[in-house]
């Protein structure tokens, strides 16, 4: 099974592709969809749609797992990210992939055992399961956070829905 994890954003949307086969995980690709902070917002949303369409067309994931928007203290930012998330959901819905949404705290709980884990702990847990190569390519720490979060979304979905992991995580 090929899972596309998405961490929605307007300036940077993280994506991570994870292949799962019999409790083995292989990172296929990960990266960012970046838009210019100076561009018209409508054009930035279109750019997100076009770039995500290409990722979906090139990789043809079986499942798309996306991080659900959480309440932010800045309502304007939350609305903008919500709009980007809507574009991403729309784009994914145009494929035959199943779509799942996960709350940030649930992702962190499944990946690290702690629903309030910080990004560093999430990345440490990812490297433990997916290997040490899950690191920033351009040495842009904050940008890598988005790609790592997307891989965490994909891994969360794998843990909850694939192979024997479902019984382990859900206490079965």
Beta strands per DSSP E along 48-152: 63-67, 98-102
Q: 10 Å Cβ neighbour count for 76?
A: 8
Q: Give the right CATH number for 2-169 from 3.40.50.920, 3.90.550.10, 3.30.420.10, 3.20.20.150.
A: 3.30.420.10
Evaluate if residue 168 carries a pLDDT over 50: no
Burial class from Cβ neighbours inside 10 Å (0-12, 13-18, 19+) for residue 127 reads: middle
CB within 8 Å of 40: residues ≥ 6 apart: none
Q: What is the pLDDT of residues 11-51, one digit of tens each?
A: 999 999 999 998 899 999 999 999 998 989 999 999 999 99
pLDDT at 8: 96
Residues 97-102 have a mean pLDDT of: 96
DSSP 68: P
Q: What is the pLDDT of residues 29-40, one digit of tens each?
A: 999 999 998 989
Evaluate if residue 79 carries a pLDDT over 80: yes
């Amino acid at each position: 099974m090929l899972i596309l994890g998405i961490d929605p954003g307007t300036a940077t949307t993280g994506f991570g592709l994870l292949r799962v086969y019999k409790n083995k995980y292989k990172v296929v690709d990960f990266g960012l969809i970046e838009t210019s902070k100076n561009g018209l917002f409508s054009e930035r949303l279109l750019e997100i749609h076009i770039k995500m369409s290409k990722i979906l067309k090139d990789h043809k994931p079986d499942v798309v797992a996306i991080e659900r928007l959480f309440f932010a203290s800045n309502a304007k930012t939350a609305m903008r990210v919500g709009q980007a998330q809507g574009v991403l959901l729309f784009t994914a819905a145009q494929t035959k992939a199943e779509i799942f949404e996960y709350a940030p705290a649930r992702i962190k709980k499944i990946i690290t055992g702690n629903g309030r884990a910080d990004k560093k702990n999430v990345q440490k847990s990812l490297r433990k399961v997916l290997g040490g190569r899950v690191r920033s390519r351009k040495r842009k720490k904050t940008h890598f956070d988005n790609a790592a979060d997307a891989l965490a979304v994909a891994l969360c979905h794998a843990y909850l829905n694939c192979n024997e992991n479902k019984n382990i995580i859900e206490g079965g």
